[in-house]
Chains A and B, each alone.
Chain A
Amino acid sequence: MYLKDMQTGQRGLVVRINKGHAAERRLFEIGLVPGASVEVVSRHPFHGPLLLQVGNTRIAVGQRIAEAVEVEMKSSTGNTP
């Protein structure tokens, strides 16, 4: 599943980023690397940006990025996509 499919408050592990080298590098810099744990803090409606908590950093990413980041839900509380 992708970042864009996650609900507010859910946590996941980043698996892959499918958006070319430049975007991948930018996300890497800010801490969003494969293996990193992310939490969706809030989602703005109408395909707006997502607020994420990665480690101690709070970052905002646009919808395009949210569509490109593949995640794996953490030992989840029983939700099926």
Chain B
Amino acid sequence: MTIVIIGNPNVGKSLVLNRLTGSNFIVSNYPGTSLEISEATLKLPNHEIKIIDTPGVYSIFTMGQDQQVIKDLLQKEKPELILNVLDATNLERNLLLSFELKELGIPMIVLVNQIDRARRSGMQIQRDRLENILGAPVVFFSALTGEGLMELMQMLEKNIDETAWPSSIESFFEQGKKPECVFQCRECSIGSESCLSSEDFRRAEMARYTAQLVEHKQSETQRYWIDKAEKLLDRPLTGTILLLALVFLGFYILLKFIELSEGPISALLNPLNLIIENFVANLLPPGIVNTVLSKAIPEGLIIPFTIIMPAMLMVSFLMAILEDSGFLPRYSVALERVGRLFGVSGQAVIPLSLGFGCRTPAVLATRLMPTIAERFIVITILSIVIPCAATIGVMAAVISTFHASLMVLVITMLTVLMVLGFIISHLMPREEVFVYELPPLRIPTNKNVLKKVRLRFAGFFTEVLPLLLVMNIIIRALMESGFFKLFHSMEGFTRALFGIPADAFVAVLVTMFQRYLAPLVLLNINLTPREATIAIAMISLSLPCLPVMVMTVREIGFKGLIKILIIGFITSFIVGAALNIILPG
């Protein structure tokens, strides 16, 4: 048997799936978290049920990407049951979708989720009335506390009998294929393209009426401190100040954490490195391989462990808090006007700030953007300007070794952000339609935060560390073999154009493909602060790393990636040349 979960964005669909099946899908507190289909199996005593989670939608009759995903899924899986998940505190809007789903004719269970929050705010819902109006069983549920789980399981156990696939659903699949609807919008039984039909209005009316009928405010809503915080945050002045202060605090914590953890980590690492060095040196016969490996392995562990690891750990933690508390979308509102300068709406804040953690999932999150043009702008800015946790670690390493100028670097990045955003946005057609639902503020649960930190941080051991180690060995070998000396003939050229030695230029080229290799190459050459500043600026503002490229192709196609790569190359070279002219020698 197959069940499909359908519901509005951010009502708790993924958490319901996790609760039911014990799986571990990502849960966050803002609309647009689950952009892909995930499925898991529920094992009941006598049978197994496949449960599929879908992207949140407000209406299945809108013609959009997410609706198409659901349509395809229904057609392919032919589920026996739809599990319609609602947010109990927001019945009126949620019921619209329930009435739409009812028309498909597939048997349905209505799960009134977040019942804990509804109760907390003094709201009561009349279950039998709701069941009568909807003509479907209703279960009160809390994915957070587990309330209603047993009841739902029992209901599923009973609901197993195979029902015939309804014929009424065919018109839903045909939706959008009837061109006449475009011209007689209001008369169509199902709205086509994106217009509203009289049926849409009827269902909205039903939803409003039903919500009024079944909801009862039991007591005057108690104001909890979190509601008060929400009020403060949603005021323009106090809100903006608070949000900016939080960003500042976040960066402060991040830098302090890296600074404080470096000492203890080095103290642990140094003796270990000595052991490794001796071990390798004794293991292999003397020669070039021996020299390379005995130097490269210990050396290759220092930067990842002392800088990149703490940076990734802290950034993952801060991002998890940001996502689960409901702060993230509030930044979109506060920064909406700033975003408009770049031709993107406020939603861009979400993928851009996710990019500080890791840019690969951030590219996926650009699906939140309302138009393709805006997606391209945001992916470009992400790829070229936004430093991910690993990049931040790298930058920190180079800056502290060569006393490069952090200020020049920050100003350069901001300038590039402005200029790039301005140029791309004026090349793109745009229409500003900013509509976004703000989630309620919530206290992040330890469990979810820990899960996210673990998930994001796993990349350090599986991806960052092995890659850095291997590359460090290769680069060491190239240096010992004198390969890099071949580039010395370019010295005149690179000095004149960018003011950096040929060695550093090679580093720039290498790191264009994998940013966090930068220090490995750079730290082995002698650079003045000026040279280091230019080199690290060129590196920080260049091409996206390989995983991001792969994701970009998946999301906006090969052509989009090529455009971004060209823009990246040009940006990096212009930055180098410009800094060489501007910075005093």
Contacts and interface: CB of A to CB of B under 8 A. Distances in A.
Interface of A: 19, 21-31, 33-36, 41-49, 51, 54-65
Contacts of B91: 56
Given A21-B193, A31-B92, A60-B333, 14 more contacts: A26-B433, A29-B59, A31-B93, A47-B337, A48-B336, A54-B93, A58-B437, A60-B434, A61-B436, A62-B432, A64-B432, A64-B434, A65-B433, A65-B435
Interface of B: 58-59, 62, 89-93, 96, 185, 191, 193-196, 200-201, 204-205, 208, 211, 234-236, 239, 329, 332-334, 336-337, 345-346, 432-438, 440
Contacts of A55: 90, 92-93, 211
A42 B231 CA distance: 10
Given A21-B185, A42-B236, A48-B336, A60 B196 contact: no
Contacts of A29: 58-59, 62, 96
Most A CB atoms within 10 A — which of B59, B89, B236?
B236
B333 A28 contact: no
A1 to B, nearest CB: 20
Nearest to A64: B432
B336 A49 contact: yes
Contact of A58 (B193, B234, B346, B432): B234
Contacts, number: 115
A31 B166 CA distance: 29
- For the complex of A and B, 5 pairs with smallest distance between CB atoms: A62-B434, A29-B58, A21-B195, A25-B194, A58-B438
B433 A42 contact: no
Given A29-B62, A59-B436, A42 B346 contact: no
A57 B90 contact: yes
A21 B196 contact: yes
A61 B234 contact: no
B62 A60 contact: no
Given A22-B194, A41-B234, A60 B185 contact: no
A60 B332 contact: yes
A27 to B, nearest CB: 6
Contacts of A19: 433
A44 B337 contact: yes
A56 B92 contact: yes
5 contacts: A55-B92, A57-B90, A60-B333, A60-B435, A64-B432
Contacts of B59: 25, 28-29
A57 B236 contact: no
Given A60-B336, A62-B433, A28 B200 contact: yes
Contacts of A63: 432
Nearest to B433: A23
